[in-house]
A and B are shown apart, each in its own frame.
With several copies, the nearest count.
Chain A
Amino acid sequence: MGEQREVITADPYIVGKPPARPDGKPGFAAWTEKPSDLSRPDPATCSAPDTHDHAHGLIRVLSDAADAEGEWDPKMDDATLLEGLGYMMKLRVFDDRMIKMQRTGKLSFYMRSLGEEAIAIAQTMALKEQDWIFPTYRQPGAQFVRGRNLVSMINHCVGNIEDNVKGRQMPVHYTWKEGRFISVSSPVGTQFSQAIGVAMASAYKGLDEACITWIGDGASAEGDYHYAVNFASTFKPPVILCVVNNQWAISTHQNLATGGQNFAARGLAYDIPCLRVDGNDFLAVFAATQWARQRIDAGLGPTHMELYTYRAGPHSSSDDPSVYRHADEADYWPGGDPVERLKQHAIKKGIWSEEKHSALEKILDEEIMAAYKEAVKNGDLANGPYPPASTIFTEVYEEVPWHIQEQREELGK
């Protein structure tokens, strides 16, 4: 890091500011880190102090020239690599479709993963099938890896009668227990500390299960972040704690949210190995997560990592970032686009081409459009049908208690 933090005022106390507001010139310090900068310590013996450089540097695999380099190169086989590329593309197409549909009122609201697709996808691919995924709204991509049915995802987003959470939560708040994808909750940060418990329960039962969870740069200011890190430090459960630093929390740049611009290193003092990872480098994200999983295999417990990335789109469908950041800020971001970077790498490797890419995009578009059409047969937010009003009263408790039963009868639906 070492970047100078930009401030609006230091008098009487510091109030930070982003590198640029809409009328300024966006600035990001160029990345000097190279894939060859950092060693890959043995995960089965590595201690927290051994990761000092990894917490302060940046783990990369894909070079600017789109080659895979350095000790962290996971040497991914071609099929897996293309699979990952496909999931990222799928998520992007999916997000685009949903945003379009949101504009027509079929969904109340939507949140894209734009620019951050590599994270949940590469990470889920690096984990075992039985591992628990405890996401925020910015990691829906994990579901593609685990093979969730698209129609079911869309049923949820449009809140129709087939929504598996019965129209109770806003779109993007997926639940999918079968895929070990734990219910998304709106209060930011809560999952981070809860993941400790999930991992401890797996360990308690003697199962080979890990739990991965994420928190945003913004939400890492919540108490839950500290609980998670300190409890992970204390009990050493099989958990992977990921701070997704996409630079922004709605309109609040990380320069306003903390004075320590490096999130990764926070775990060192808690005796947890820490990695800072190029979040837009599919291979680096995969490799770092695989390393963390290997630590868990070795019985060593938690890893803390920062995924350094950039929120390329608006916070949500309700947000217009051009009010608070430069409209072209994304163009100045030196970290590139995760899909584009992996695509170029695959092309360079000779296993992919522009034509194949376009063709796949088209297939995905059709697949998603088909799923969408299938889903809205079950209704959508604009037109219904919705889950019946009776679902308001069920599953509040295991059994409906008398007072809720009375209320249900009062509603008479």
Chain B
Amino acid sequence: MTEMNMIQALNSALDERMNADEDIVVFGEDVGFFGGVFRVTDGLQKKHGAHRIFDAPLAEGGFAAMAFGMGINGLRPVMEIQFADYIFPAYDQIVNEMAKVRHRSGGEFTCPVTIRTPAGGGIRGGHHHSQSPEAQFTHTPGLKVVYCSTPRNAKGLLTSAIECNDPVVFFEPKRCYRGPFYGDPHNVPTWKGHEDADVPEGYYEIPLGQANMVQEGDACTVIAWGTMVHVAQQAIKDCGISCDLIDLQTLVPWDRDAVVNSVKKTGRVVVVHEAPKTSGFGAEMAASIQERCFYHLEAPIERVTGWDTPFPHTTEWDYMPSPSRIAEAIKRTQEE
């Protein structure tokens, strides 16, 4: 075990996988010599060679297509979209092509591509450096969708994503690259000393489809992913109500048993995400939970989310779900 921040953990996963598997190639904007604008691929070009990790031309759709072609021809490409907001030029290649090629070809061609992308707010990025577009991928059959939250699960999940024979969209909460975020912009801890900063150095995987029970309680089930896991943890602390906190980790396919068992125990649910409320993945959670646990529910399932507006620059703390908004929601679930 070594203490790592999330950037180091992701770098370690890439490095370990590239050592183990010749078929892995890595590309994206500025990921080569420079090592990525967030430094996730730092040092890897020197180690693994420019033919294995290189800068792609500035065309997300173009290098997604390249990843597709490499994927169906036996490689295992890992591509970086510099900010999740810039994944949309590649949307057609991802949802119409990567997601469907296994099925459309009767299983003859498969596309084991991993798309890594820093997502979410909290860095004063405004409209186009803050979005968290996971829900725009969860609606597409054929894609797996992952959202890490700590150095430890970043490494474990990225390893599994790379090993997965299906295309995986892998979201990294950029606000948590260097430390967890508890909802207070004036408190900027690093990962130092955090238990989830202890990361195995060698091969380490966390299976896709498995949630992480961050903490257990009995009054409410709080479901979150990415940065919101930490904000929710703060909220639970603040309100003093005993909660299960489920870090979903994988959104498609999500961990039915972890969620259903918890809800059957608590009867109360708060789902938290940064993305806008309408048609966010919280909607799927709420819809599915009420289908599966209707008679166990004691209160409406609450969603605490970003607003149905673009992501603002100066006022981002009024946009992102705060510990107090989450705490209020948890409390509301107890009132009934």
The answer to whether A and B touch directly, with their CB atoms under 8 angstroms apart, is yes
For B101, the chain A residues whose CB sits under 8 A away are 183, 185
Is B205's beta carbon under 8 Å from chain A?
no
Cβ contact within 8 Å between B58 and A188: yes
Cβ contact within 8 Å between A166 and B57: no
Q: How far is the CB of A164 from chain B (nearest CB, A)?
A: 5
For A164, the chain B residues whose CB sits under 8 A away are 106, 108
For B126, the chain A residues whose CB sits under 8 A away are 168-170, 173, 186
Cβ contact within 8 Å between B51 and A11: yes
For A371, the chain B residues whose CB sits under 8 A away are none
Cβ contact within 8 Å between A170 and B71: no
Stretch at the interface among A30-38, A221-229, A330-338: A221-229
Chain A: interface size category: 35 or more
Residues 191-219 of chain A: 1 if any B CB is under 8 Å from the residue's CB, otherwise 0? 00111111111101100000100001011
Provided the pairs A165-B106, A389-B315 are in contact, do residues A194 and B124 lie with their beta carbons within 8 angstroms? Answer: no
Is B298's beta carbon under 8 Å from chain A?
no
CA distance A223 to B93 in the complex (A): 11
- Tell which of B25, B109, B165, B256 touches A204, judged by Cβ atoms closer than 8 Å: B25
Cβ contact within 8 Å between B313 and A187: no
Is B102's beta carbon under 8 Å from chain A?
yes
Q: How far is the CB of A114 from chain B (nearest CB, A)?
A: 20
A-B CB pair tally, cutoff 8 Å = 281
Cβ contact within 8 Å between B69 and A186: no
Is B193's beta carbon under 8 Å from chain A?
no
Cβ contact within 8 Å between B66 and A194: yes
For residue B100, which residue of chain A has the nearest CB? A185
Cβ contact within 8 Å between B61 and A168: no
Is B283's beta carbon under 8 Å from chain A?
no
Stretch at the interface among B27-35, B195-203, B265-273: B27-35
List B residues 93-123 near A (Cβ within 8 Å).
Answer: 93, 96-97, 100-110
Q: How far is the CB of A172 from chain B (nearest CB, A)?
A: 11
Cβ contact within 8 Å between A197 and B65: yes
Is A404's beta carbon under 8 Å from chain B?
yes
For residue A166, which residue of chain B has the nearest CB? B106
Q: How far is the CB of A400 from chain B (nearest CB, A)?
A: 10
List B residues 292-336 near A (Cβ within 8 Å).
Answer: 307-310, 312-315, 318-319
CA distance A198 to B313 in the complex (A): 27
CA distance A190 to B72 in the complex (A): 14
Is A291's beta carbon under 8 Å from chain B?
no
Cβ contact within 8 Å between B278 and A201: no
Q: How far is the CB of A186 from chain B (nearest CB, A)?
A: 4
Residues 74-101 of chain B: 1 if any A CB is under 8 Å from the residue's CB, otherwise 0? 1101000000011011001100110011
Cβ contact within 8 Å between A257 and B127: no
For residue B109, which residue of chain A has the nearest CB? A183
Cβ contact within 8 Å between A190 and B127: no
Is B3's beta carbon under 8 Å from chain A?
no
Q: How far is the CB of B326 from chain A (nearest CB, A)?
A: 13
For residue B255, which residue of chain A has the nearest CB? A402
Among A169, A395, A397, A404, which residue has the most Cβ atoms of chain B within 10 A? A397
- Tell which of B51, B59, B63, B308 touches A403, judged by Cβ atoms closer than 8 Å: B308
CA distance A173 to B144 in the complex (A): 25
CA distance A266 to B307 in the complex (A): 43
Cβ contact within 8 Å between B33 and A21: yes
Among A11, A160, A194, which residue has the most Cβ atoms of chain B within 10 A? A194
Provided the pairs A193-B65, A403-B278 are in contact, do residues A170 and B89 lie with their beta carbons within 8 angstroms? Answer: no
For A65, the chain B residues whose CB sits under 8 A away are none
Q: How far is the CB of B252 from chain A (nearest CB, A)?
A: 8
Is A381's beta carbon under 8 Å from chain B?
yes
Is B217's beta carbon under 8 Å from chain A?
no
Q: How far is the CB of A409 from chain B (nearest CB, A)?
A: 11
Provided the pairs A182-B72, A197-B66, A250-B37 are in contact, do residues A397 and B106 lie with their beta carbons within 8 angstroms? Answer: no
CA distance A402 to B250 in the complex (A): 13
Apart from the given pairs A108-B313, A190-B68, 10 other A-B contacts in the complex at a CB distance below 8 Å = A9-B51, A167-B314, A176-B108, A182-B72, A186-B128, A187-B96, A190-B65, A197-B72, A252-B30, A386-B314
Task: Give 9 closest A-B pairs by Cβ, nearest first.
Answer: A197-B69, A227-B62, A167-B314, A193-B65, A186-B128, A251-B34, A201-B73, A221-B57, A401-B253
A interface list, Cβ under 8 A from B: 8-9, 11-13, 15, 17, 21, 108-109, 132, 134, 159-160, 163-170, 173, 175-177, 182-183, 185-190, 193-202, 204-205, 211, 216, 218-224, 226-228, 230-231, 234, 249-252, 256-258, 318, 323-324, 381, 386-389, 391-398, 401-404, 407-408, 411, 413
